[in-house]
Chains A and B, each alone.
Chain A
Amino acid sequence: MKDPQPVGFERAYSADEVRTWLSRLGDAGAVFLCLVEGEVGGFSALDFNTQEPDIATLGVWLLPGHRGKGLGTELARLALDFARDRGYRRIRGRLPAGNEVALSFLSSIGALVPIYNPNMRFELPL
């Protein structure tokens, strides 16, 4: 689905900001890159939440040309395997309004997505 106002990152992040984020993750989180013919096609990230130590946040991003080929599922699998190894009990998250494609993807990897879901929430027990 292409949306007239696509959801995703609000802006491009600088290399320094990305380094800061990765540094903050430490060994409590992880980022997995997908390389397609030497170029980054997408990535998944597992982030932590200091308020709820047994819960992590999952994000998967793919460039449009690489969607629908199973790459997102594989990126998610790597992040979820890491989360299980790290001892997290569940993934919880919330998406920007209008990102039904992401909710559909999350459903396909086993996330619980409420049918009536105005807040675009999802949860994935590990």
Chain B
Amino acid sequence: MPDKALLVLEDGSTFEGEAFGADTGAGGEVVFSTSMTGYQEALTDPSFAGQVLVMTYPLAGNYGINRFAVESNRIQVSGLVVREHCDTPSHWQSEMTLHEYLARNGVPGLSGIDTRALTRRLRMSGVMMGLITRGEDLEEALAHLRETPRYGDIDFVRRVSTDCNYEWPDGSTAAKHHIVLVDLGVKYNIMRMLSRKGAHVTAVPCLTSAEDVLAFRPDGVVLSPGPGDPVHLGYVVETLKGLTGRVPILGICLGHQTLGTAFGASTFKLKFGHRGANHPVRDLATGRVYITAQNHGYATDPDGLRDGMEVSLVNLNDDTVEGLRHEELGIMSIQYHSEASPGPLDNTYFFDRFLDLVSERKGN
């Protein structure tokens, strides 16, 4: 008989389910993702750091866990909440169950939850702090939750960024372009795709200065996605200001938000964020609509944009900014995830577009 556990939200509502994964509790901002597959990629996505992830798709774990579908070197979510978890996975690459994976990484899971009701609650009230707990009653859990640092108060980027420079792929020198990637919480698939398209990537820590980035003599710079409130990232904005006009720049997700900030925009928190694999985005130049993978809780307010930075893409669900561009300075950014993983591969063209820009600026 599985142990009972509770998800307690800061509004006092509770959801009782069955504990799986690590025998522990965890707190964080409770968010939902509507992706139907890709639980392993989501678990290891650094942009979920500090969050309790609710999967709206009712079954998780059915194709197990493999060694390939990882987006960082560990599980990043604080906890996982699902309607049902499968302990008998079926896939030729599966090496362990979802339960075993969570347990080995010290992350608690909660199964048997009415995730549709929970998602409706988060949609109506907005994302909020929550706690997966065993053995605490509601009052104890709420007291515990009040002591838990609030998601928006923490600079998670410093927690998930690399401590030292590294190369992707390791040891390759035959690449056409050299891209320096400022790691704000990068997903491996960004580097996989850049590499596949002919780039050699050097990933550097989030605190790397513009001078140190330029010392690599990069052909282009990518600012990666990452977790948390972009308001903490003044140090990245300073780096960006030092890079602007000196090298082509691509910003993805949090990287996009910091680019907007560097050009005068502010950011704001979305009520329940965009997390899933089917968010429609319109390219304002062509009118074409792309179905995109997204994972962000903040968005760029374009009102303050200055110095020639333009909005290039908008979200068709809520009209929020999904992309920026500055043709003269060779800057482009997207709020969504061109690397997908999980999600549709429709937007990998954006890497081609960036590398074309890099080629153009190099004069070849």
Contact = CB atoms under 8 A, between A and B. Distances in A.
Interface of A: 1-4, 98, 100-101, 103-104, 107-108, 115-118
A109 to B, nearest CB: 12
Given A101-B114, A104-B114, A2 B120 contact: no
A-B pairs with lowest CB-CB distance, top 5: A4-B12, A100-B120, A104-B117, A104-B116, A100-B117
A104 B11 contact: no
Contacts, number: 39
Interface in B109-161: 114, 116-118, 120-121, 123-124
Nearest to A5: B12
A96 to B, nearest CB: 13
B13 A3 contact: yes
Interface residues of B, number: 14
A91 B123 CA distance: 25
A2 B8 CA distance: 10
Contact of A104 (B12, B120, B124): B120
Contacts of B123: 115-116
13 contacts: A1-B14, A1-B117, A2-B14, A2-B15, A3-B12, A4-B13, A100-B118, A101-B114, A104-B114, A107-B116, A116-B123, A117-B120, A117-B124
Interface of B: 11-16, 114, 116-118, 120-121, 123-124
Given A2-B13, A100-B118, 4 more contacts: A2-B16, A103-B120, A104-B117, A108-B116
A52 B124 CA distance: 30
